[in-house]
Amino acid sequence: MIQGNRAISRSLITSAKTLSYKIADPTLAEMGKNLKEAMKMLEDSQRRTEEENGKKLLSGDIPGPLQGSGQDMVSILQLVQNLMHGDEDEEPQSTRIQNIGEQGHIALLGHSLGAYISTLDKEKLRKLTTRILSDTTLWLCRIFRYENGCAYFHEEEREGLAKICRLAIHSRYEDFVVDGFNVLYNKMPVIYLSAAARPGLGQYLCNQLGLPFPCLCRVPCNTMFGSQHQMDVAFLEKLIKDDIERGKLPLLLVANAGTAAVGHTDKIGRLKELCKQYGIWLHVKGVNLATLALGYVSSSVLAATKCDSMTLTPGPWLGLPAVPAVTLYKHDDPALTLVAGLTSNKPTDKLRALPLWLSLQYLGLDGIVERIKHACQLSQRLQESLKKVNHIKILVEDELSSPVVVFRFFQELPGSDPGLNAIPAPNMAPSAVSQERHSCDALNRWLGEQLKQLVPASGLTVMDLEVEGTCVRFSPLTTAAVLGTRGEDVDQLVACIQSQLPVLTCTLQLREEFKQEVMGAAGLLYVDDPNWPGIGVVRYEHANDDKSSLKSDPEGEKIHAGLLKKLNELESDLTFKMGPEYKSMKSCIYIGMASDDIDVSELVETIAVTAREIEENSRLLENMTEVVRKGIQEAQVQLQKANEERLLEEGVLRQIPVVGSVLNWFSPVQASQKGRTFNLTAGSLESTEHTYVYKVQGSGVTPPQTPSGARTKQRLPGQKPFKRSLRGSDTVSETSSVSHIEDLEKIEHLSGGQDASEANSPERHPGVPTPPEAEQTGALQDRAQRLEDDCPQMRKPRSTDLRFTQPVNSHL
């Protein structure tokens, strides 16, 4: 291995010196200069766009006819920049360019160089492309310990596997070139894929090869022993024997050195022995193949060096943009590789390796190994830190060499086994198990999104696994080189996870209490939405709500919109949102995560009372339209009747223009001012005669009392709504004292108008019954006397005796 590394170093130095001598080419020098200026212009334009966020698109962005005179390079690059960042107001994260660094500029230079090199004469082009392809193949085979291999460079990661399948078909079916698919019909090939393979891989292979879907065989993973993401070798052997008995031909097996989901590695050593026994082509793919460049490699990954082919993706591993993927393979027949498309006689096809050829020389062997080693250290650092955090389950603890860390938040249930990811005991009801699974999935999805926003350099991914549920994946081999992830970012990620755990545990504990409170509240319906990570979802059922319908409800939307506005005005720590119900179009109120102990009963009561008030006010406004319309009609009738009475009272002569004026001058009419006023509160039409006669502003009708609203809770200074009160003797004493003082102030307020109401009291107006308010006031007086006897320190001086009388104005 050491000698191989030295040979690679000497080769890289020699190629670098050759490139330094050739830089004297003026065209090549100008190309590098133009690329540097273009990248600088785009980066400067990006910074200006970020500073001037919200700026409208320039007029040059509007599509139009091709200009006859042409445009300069600056204008064209400005147009490209506007097209790249023009929609940042709508999608601010989708068009942002990563900081690719100097090694990224080298990779981009390779594409420009490829266009320039293709203009050389055929002989020079053939020699140069052959040198580039052979150098890159040699370096990759020695770096990743795949001796005597060939390389195929391709843009699509799955394209190399499709070419390998075509090569395997040509190798196993000698008459395939002549007879074509008739040979396959007589003996159908079988391609074996792991159940943990990337979704859509089998369909892609069948589409590229023209094979029917029965040619695919899905191999299940282990169910009892070993990792649940590793291929079951014993079951695979059984499938191979069954296919042979049915007259099929086992053709190719795709193994994983780091599954797409959790980064687990199949038992490649045993799979290789099985493939050798039955003559099956073994292809290995996965992110863990990058560790072959390190000094220490696990035995399971090291066995991949003995496979028939493997696919590498050095672009994400090394942070190189626009570099191709590489498929390394071993085969002795150049004719078959040419027919399969793995090799080409076109020099331009060989130029695909040029960006990678330049980048490998720029990084050097030490730089390549250091980047891969740094990514593996980040994974180990996060894994060791998460082992010390409660309520976090790591799914790859047994994979010490895996550069992928997958974790999940879980809550231990009574009777559950923490070692099985908090799976409930068998005696629990299936509905409770499903509900707990959905709740944890929603919380993990929320946790992953929060961590992605708080630590964007971590490159986290939220994914759904069939067995474990929703998890968060940290794969620095595919993101660290591009995002520049450091050890400090991992520490920040762990700190953010610890800070979010109280929110998760508190929310999960309050969910069941919220459900019970809502189910016990009148007018509220609990909505079980498995995708909502908050406390819960509630819907208010108004009087006209059709419970059997799933269509949208305009009246309900109006009520819920007003309810959402009222809840947000309370300025609590909870977040409220409105959206359609799960599996329905009806509006609901979604209550977010709880960061502290919440008084759920007060929250539910506030929602119910506020929604009821909004519904009553809405009905009042709807009824008021009809009342006003009828009132206007009645007023028109009464005004017309009053005009007729005035005509009868004044006589016909007074209506004649000249005669009426003379008659009015000799004998003026003392007409009283009569009008009508419409009382919206009482909904009645009243006369305005008393307004002008007695100068009294008011209708004489006592308006009804407004709804009392939700039960107000006594809070301490600075305490936000829906917070539970502190428990303790001091707190209870303070609350009792406040309550006593409020009772005394209420009694004094009721007796404040004693002197003004004595004249109108029931004693001076016999026959008027004692109102209920007086009885309540008497009861309050007795309570106040008892409070004063129990708490002498709370007795307040009074200037007059408390005599409880009720003004008669409200009863006349």
Where in the chain is CATH 3.40.640.10? 150-345
| Tokens describing residue 29 | 């020098």
Cα 726 to Cα 81, 241, 668, 729: the distances in Å are 58, 70, 79, 10
Task: For residue range 728-745, list pLDDT tens digits in order.
Answer: 434 433 444 444 444 445
According to the model, what pLDDT value does residue 188 have? 94
Where in the chain is CATH 3.90.1150.170? 372-412+435-504
Q: Which residues pair with 537 in a beta bridge?
A: 527, 590
How far apart, in whole angstroms, are the C-alpha atoms of residue 556 and residue 563?
10
Gyration radius of the chain over CA positions = 42
Task: For residue range 408-418, list pLDDT tens digits in order.
Answer: 998 765 444 44
Q: Poorest-confidence range of 226-235, 301-310, 492-501, 560-569?
A: 226-235
Q: Which residues pair with 191 in a beta bridge?
A: 216, 252
Mean pLDDT of 701-724: 56
Task: Give the residue carrying structure tokens 């997958």.
Answer: 406
Mean pLDDT of 152-157: 94
Phi, psi of 778 (to 5 degrees): -65, -40
Range 372-412+435-504 classified under CATH 3.90.1150.170: yes
Mean pLDDT of 199-213: 93
Helix or strand (DSSP H, E) at 556:
helix 554-569
Find the distance separating the first CA and the last CA of the chain, reported in whole Å.
Answer: 109
| Tokens describing residue 164 | 């390998």
Among residues 349, 321, 350, 355, the alpha carbon closest in space to that of 112 is found at: 355
| Tokens describing residue 203 | 């369909």
Angle formed at CA 380 by CA 377 and CA 382, multiple of 5 degrees:
110
What average pLDDT does the structure give for the chain? 76
* Class (C level, CATH) for 150-345: alpha beta
- DSSP symbol at 570: T
Q: Poorest-confidence range of 83-97, 559-573, 624-638, 742-756?
A: 742-756
According to the model, what pLDDT value does residue 177 have? 86
Q: Poorest-confidence range of 21-25, 41-45, 219-223, 756-760?
A: 756-760
pTM of the model: 0.71
According to the model, what pLDDT value does residue 81 have? 74
Q: Which CATH architecture has domain 508-545+553-617?
A: Alpha-Beta Complex (3.90)
The amino acid at 287: V
Q: Does the pLDDT at position 20 exceed 70?
A: no
According to the model, what pLDDT value does residue 243 have? 95
How far apart, in whole angstroms, are the C-alpha atoms of residue 46 and residue 54?
13
How far apart, in whole angstroms, are the C-alpha atoms of residue 642 and residue 106?
97
- Split at pLDDT 50, 70, 90, the class of 94 is very low
Q: Does the pLDDT at position 137 exceed 90?
A: yes
Among residues 604, 534, 537, 529, the alpha carbon closest in space to that of 574 is found at: 534
Asked whether 342 and 167 are in contact (CB, 8 A), the reply is: yes
Where in the chain is CATH 3.90.1150.10? 508-545+553-617
